[in-house]
Amino acid sequence: MLRIYGVYKSRATRTFWLAGELGLAFEHVPVIQAYKLADPMAPGARINTRSPEYLAVNPMGAIPAIDDDGLKLHESMAINLYLARKAGGPLAPKDLAEDALMTQWSFFAVAEIEANALKISMSNAQGRLSTEAGQAEAEVAARLLKRPLAVLESHFADNDYAVGGRFTVADINLAEVVRYGQPYQPLMDAHPHIAAWLKRCHDRPAFKAMWQTRLDEQE
């Protein structure tokens, strides 16, 4: 039985979205981030990223992680690539070349986009993006994102999706990182092909279902 560890308000959204696309049955283990608890090690505390039982699954104490019939994996990109390959079908690579491209775009998202896009997301979540200081921070992050997003913008000018002319796991992995920069509207305005691709991804029923569950999640 597949177990997915994590809450929806985390990077686990990537894996929950993929599971919805694939129609995978899974057990959800709602591991919360330790920083959200006053005392994560208190007796009776919710299972969290510092709980010994979770560290036995992911010794890094981050979410998400999975246990797939004894195979324990952490790192969300690796999890998604594994689950897609295992399930097969249109979300998975059809050959070695597609496999390489899906891996490339997933690594590209983490290495070149995530850190700076996440700064925008955190500023927005903390209510600072509407302030002058928050806008200044977002402008700096957007400037640092200029080169990688230019690569994506050029790619999506000629392609509806990341790999193979169809929606795949590579789009999920990319979209869940690019989404972090979405609250800073000038960034989207400057990259209309990325914005259109992101909308195509977010219009999918599996994304909408995942996102509604995220909105409804009680912390």
CATH classification of the domain holding 67: 3.40.30.10
Identify whether residues 115 and 180 lie together within a single domain. yes
pTM for the whole structure: 0.96
Range of the domain at 152: 96-204
Q: What is d(CA 208, CA 193) in angstroms, rounded to the nearest whole number?
A: 21
Identify whether residues 158 and 193 lie together within a single domain. yes
Domain final residue pick, 87, 111, 136: 87
**How many separate domains does the chain show?**
2
Q: What is d(CA 120, CA 128) in angstroms, rounded to the nearest whole number?
A: 9
CATH classification of the domain holding 152: 1.20.1050.10
Residue in the block written with tokens 């912390």? 219
Where residue 44 falls (left for φ over 0; alpha for ψ -120 to 50; beta otherwise) is left
pLDDT (tens digit, 0 to 9) for every residue of the chain, 219 residues total? 999 999 999 999 999 999 999 999 999 999 999 999 999 999 999 999 999 999 999 999 999 999 999 999 999 999 999 999 999 999 999 999 999 999 999 999 999 999 999 999 999 999 999 999 999 999 999 999 999 999 999 999 999 999 999 999 999 999 999 999 999 999 999 999 999 999 999 999 999 999 999 999 987
Residue 218 lies in a domain: no
